[in-house]
Amino acid sequence: MDFTPKSPQIQETTEKRIKMLQFLFIFIFIAYAIRLFGMQILNGELYRSRAQDIARRTTVIPAQRGEIYDRSFDQPLVLNADSFAVNITPAEVPQGKMPELIEKLAEILGIPPDQIEGKIPPQYYYLFQPLEVASNVAYNKIAVIAENVDTLPGVSWQSKPIRNYVEAGSLSHIIGYVGDITKDELTMLYNSGYKQGDVIGKAGIERQYDGILRGRDGLETRTVDVRGRRITGSLANVREPPVVGKNIVLSIDRSIQVLAEKALGERMGSVVVMRPSTGEILAMVSYPWYDPTIFTRNDSAAEYQALINDPNKPFLNRAIQSSYPPASTFKIIMTTGILRENAISPDQLVDCFGEISYGDRQWRCHIRRPGHGHLNLQQAMAQSCDIYFWVVGRDYLGIERILEYAKDFGFGEVTGIDLPGEISGFLPTPQWKDRRFHERWLGGDTMNMSIGQGYTLVTPLQMANIVAMVVNDGIIYQPHILKEVRDPISGAVETTIAPTVLHKSDVEPAVFETVRRNMRSVISEGTARFPLNIRTVEIAGKTGTGEVGLPDQWHSWFTAYAPYQTDNPEERIVVSVIVEAVNKWEWWAPYASAIIFHGIFSGQTYEESVAALGFQYLMPMQGRRE
């Protein structure tokens, strides 16, 4: 060994290095001390809060949606049924066993394995968070899962009520349905408190009043370890119960709805029954309809796709989402304009010999030669004489005033009914035709509009509003479906929907009185005297036959109100019926209206009304809901 003493220079260098290390250790110690002081003292509350968040997991407890009733508030149209949702916690499944687990679970649930696989992508396999893989699972299947729980690692279940649509039938277009929120919906509704996994209304009342029906979800907060595994017996577990959604009461009368549904039968078209004094919709039927329970069943994908591809469009609410030429029902508006403007004396006669010449064509009345003969305004309305309204519309009233009165009756504007998806119909103008076709408006266009043909389009609900305006001496109340909002526990009324004036015309009541008298003549001596001249109640209305450009095919319209005269406006009812041209031609709208009016004012069912009116030979009974 070399015991030679080190030189002073080397010894000095060594001492410097030792001191540098000492200073370094002291600096590190001081830095850590400052950091710990900042974390524990200065920012201690912040980090304690973050640690608490990391140590806790929150599970949503779904709230039950409110129930939906008809106006009688006796039995619900929509309620909640007990059901279960099945979850898989991916991290609790042994590695490599996920495909086997999915196959076994899919066999128990009776669903395709890929339906489960799509909800658990591989990147989620490390999560200890339960993922819902199936809903609306029956109790007997949950029992099978419970019996085999030892061989189904990571599988769990929870109660999750679903919507039960009680004999929805034609109510499906009114009530709608619910479904899981989509990404696009979540983007729009996130700031309103919606979140991933929520069930929301997709159509009808379920969508329109989702905020009232959905209630408020509850929360269960539990303590977990760093891997997300639940720590049992913790005092930190907190449960906040959900709040049930409000119950809503519709203006719909269930008995009238069934009556209208059966009166329309299996004919593509629509029926609207409304109380003109308030705007309440008592019935709204659109055929074909659909079964809303397909959206709560796990095995209905094929059925849903078939409905989507159905050319008859069963998801379409024809009462507010389809528009048609108003045909001769437009003569109600024409009569109002003629009387108000005194365009021609109501007593002045116009000759109808079955056809007239104008331009380069012959215009034929629906009664060909010898025609209707000499008619005044009241007779022309009763017999629905096209030639009278062609001549008066073109030569006396004019397109600008026709448009003015059509707008006054609400043509081309939505009614604002509390259902999503309403369309406005269409009211053509000379300016529109010039922009659209680069053609000027001609006298022939005015003639077409004068009898409700051409480009003019109207929805069945707008048609009901036309009659309501005549009945109310110029006032239209906004149509509505919601009647009341009630507390789900006590049943107490929290909100009542008051009538809202949608439009008020400046046409004098005396004019509307004459229009009503002329509409009554349609029943008493005109085109509808055979099907509608019933003893139960006096009816006033107007028929319409809409051309679609095909031989032997026409839309069948009838719009009316009853009683014709009454001291109590509250008892008046408006009925608007459209039967589309795709059906076998039978001029059915007036007959369906007769059944509906008779059933309402006699208190009889559809079957009883048919027997009382002697219409048994007109309609087959198969396919109708009893």
Q: Which token pair is 233?
A: 């017996």
How far is Cα 503 from Cα 519, in angstroms, rounded to an integer? Answer: 22
Is residue 328 within 8 Å of 452, Cβ to Cβ?
A: yes
Half-sphere exposure of 248 (CA within 13 A, CB side): 24
Is residue 593 within 8 Å of 577, Cβ to Cβ?
A: yes
Q: Which residue has the tokens 């200065």?
A: 42
Q: Which residue has the tokens 């076998």?
A: 584
How far is Cα 240 from Cα 235, in angstroms, rounded to an integer? Answer: 15
SS (HEC) of 316-382: CCHHHHCCECCHHHHHHHHHHHHHHHCCCCCCCCEEECCEEEECCEEEECCCCCCCCEEECHHHHHH
Q: Which residue has the tokens 């007036």?
A: 590
**CA-to-CA separations, 273 to 170, 251, 285, 413, in angstroms, rounded:** 13, 11, 9, 20
- Calculate ∠ Cα 366-369-372, nearest 5°: 65
Q: What is the amino acid identity at position 480? A: H
Q: What is the pLDDT, as a whole number, of residue 218?
A: 83
| pTM confidence score | 0.84
Is residue 109 within 8 Å of 137, Cβ to Cβ?
A: yes
Report the interhelical angle of 399-408 vs 331-341 (nearest 10°): 110
Which residue, 141, 235, 541, 511, is CA-closest to 381?
541
Is residue 162 within 8 Å of 135, Cβ to Cβ?
A: yes
Q: What is the amino acid identity at position 473? A: D
Q: What is the CATH number of domain 52-82+161-250?
A: 3.90.1310.10
What size, in residues, is the chain? Answer: 626
Q: Where are the alpha helices (DSSP H) in 393-524?
A: 399-408, 430-437, 443-450, 460-471, 509-524
pLDDT along the chain (626 residues), means of 10: 60 76 80 73 61 60 90 92 84 87 90 85 80 83 88 84 86 93 87 83 95 87 60 63 93 97 95 98 97 80 88 96 96 98 96 92 85 95 96 97 97 97 97 96 96 96 98 98 96 96 97 98 92 92 88 90 94 97 88 96 95 77 35
Q: Which residue has the tokens 């979140």?
A: 195
How far is Cα 296 from Cα 309, in angstroms, rounded to an integer? Answer: 20
Phi, psi of 618 (to 5 degrees): -90, -25
Buried b (16+ CB within 10 A) or exposed e, 397-421: bbbebbbebbebbbbbeebebbbbb
Half-sphere exposure of 277 (CA within 13 A, CB side): 10
Cβ within 8 Å of residue 246, ≥6 positions away: 66, 212, 213, 215, 485, 486, 487, 488, 494
Where does residue 367 rank: exposed (0-12), middle (13-18), buried (19+ CB within 10 A)?
middle
Q: Which residue has the tokens 């679970």?
A: 105
Cβ within 8 Å of residue 556, ≥6 positions away: 269, 544, 545, 546, 577, 578, 579, 585, 586, 587, 588, 589, 590
How far is Cα 560 from Cα 550, in angstroms, rounded to an integer? Answer: 27
Phi, psi of 68 (to 5 degrees): -120, 130
Q: What is the pLDDT, as a whole number, of residue 622?
A: 36
Q: Which token pair is 108?
A: 């128990």
Q: What is the amino acid identity at position 514? A: T
Q: Which token pair is 275?
A: 């109380």
CATH class of 254-293+318-618: alpha beta
| β partners of residue 545 | 556
Q: Which residue has the tokens 């149509």?
A: 479
Is residue 428 within 8 Å of 419, Cβ to Cβ?
A: no
